[in-house]
């Protein structure tokens, strides 16, 4: 049977899963979830109740980075998995402290005891370091780390795009702008209709 991917268009974790599926060409039946109206089939399948969640037979994968590996281990035409350990370390930094700072900047009302400006400064230190590491791509060619991190840099950038564009991160801006203008980004970001159990399968990519 065709694997099933529960997704949410704007979620950066779901974006990274769709990016890996797009490059690998591994086809899934995409089910777009509305987070305020999660379908029962999704809640029964996902141990965490979060997107993305991939179901392949009896295997359930509900961590986005694991879905990326799952797809690329089947087909990796651009060699995304060919990267040094530093790439995995960067993904861990962005999934951990950077995402924490991002959330406390973007969703300040959820964290009334936190200073959003301080967290924006913390997130900015990660981006300054990243700006110094990028050479077209982080390792000079597209690898897993670029596409695992880009959705979160995009999310941070659009908290206050004017402020972000004013920062002296020229290389990082070029890297992000290239991603946002790419055919690949456009392919993973069409508006998907909310999935219902009686819908015909929506194949992706």
Q: What is the CATH number of the domain that holds 144?
A: 1.20.1050
Same domain, 59 and 102: no
Same domain, 195 and 137: no
Pairing of strands 4-7, 28-32: parallel
Q: How many domains does the chain have?
A: 2
Tell the residue number behind the tokens 């050479």, with chain if given.
135
Q: In which residue ranges of the chain is pLDDT below 50?
A: none
Give the pLDDT confidence score for residue 85 in this predicted structure: 97
Of the candidates 88, 123, 130, 92, the one whose C-alpha atom is nearest the C-alpha of residue 107 is 123
Whole-number Å distance between alpha carbons of 121 and 110: 18
- Domain extent for 36: 4-77+189-204
Same domain, 148 and 194: no
Domain containing 61 — which CATH number?
A: 3.40.30.10
Same domain, 30 and 100: no
pLDDT in tens, 66-101: 999 999 999 999 999 999 999 999 999 999 999 999
HSE-up of 116 (CA within 13 Å, CB side)?
13
Cβ neighbours around 2 below 10 Å, total: 11
Give the pLDDT confidence score for residue 47 in this predicted structure: 86
Same domain, 113 and 169: yes
Same domain, 104 and 179: yes
Residue 20 DSSP SS3? helix
Same domain, 8 and 67: yes
Same domain, 65 and 145: no
Same domain, 102 and 69: no
Tell the residue number behind the tokens 């400006």, with chain if given.
117
Give the pLDDT confidence score for residue 4 in this predicted structure: 98
Same domain, 117 and 66: no
Q: Residue-wise over 15-40: b if at least 16 C-beta within 10 A, else e?
A: bbbbbbbbbbebebbbbbbeeeebbe
């Amino acid at each position: 049977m065709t694997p099933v991917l529960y997704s949410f268009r704007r979620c950066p974790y779901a974006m990274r899963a769709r990016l890996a599926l797009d490059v690998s060409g591994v086809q899934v039946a995409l089910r777009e979830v509305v987070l305020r109206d999660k379908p029962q089939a999704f809640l029964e399948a996902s141990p965490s109740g979060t997107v993305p969640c991939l179901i392949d037979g009896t295997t359930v994968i509900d961590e986005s980075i694991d879905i990326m590996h799952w797809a690329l281990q089947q087909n990796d035409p651009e060699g995304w998995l060919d990267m040094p350990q530093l790439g995995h370390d960067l993904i861990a930094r962005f999934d951990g402290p950077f995402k924490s700072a991002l959330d406390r900047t973007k969703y300040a009302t959820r964290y009334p005891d936190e200073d959003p400006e301080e967290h924006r400064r913390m997130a900015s230190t990660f981006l300054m370091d990243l700006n110094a590491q990028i050479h077209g791509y982080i390792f000079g060619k597209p690898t897993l780390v670029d596409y695992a991190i880009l959705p979160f840099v995009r999310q941070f950038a659009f908290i206050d795009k004017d402020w972000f564009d004013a920062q002296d991160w020229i290389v990082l801006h070029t890297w992000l702008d290239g991603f946002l203008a790419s055919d690949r980004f456009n392919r993973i970001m069409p508006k998907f209709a909310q999935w219902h159990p009686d819908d015909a399968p929506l194949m992706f990519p």
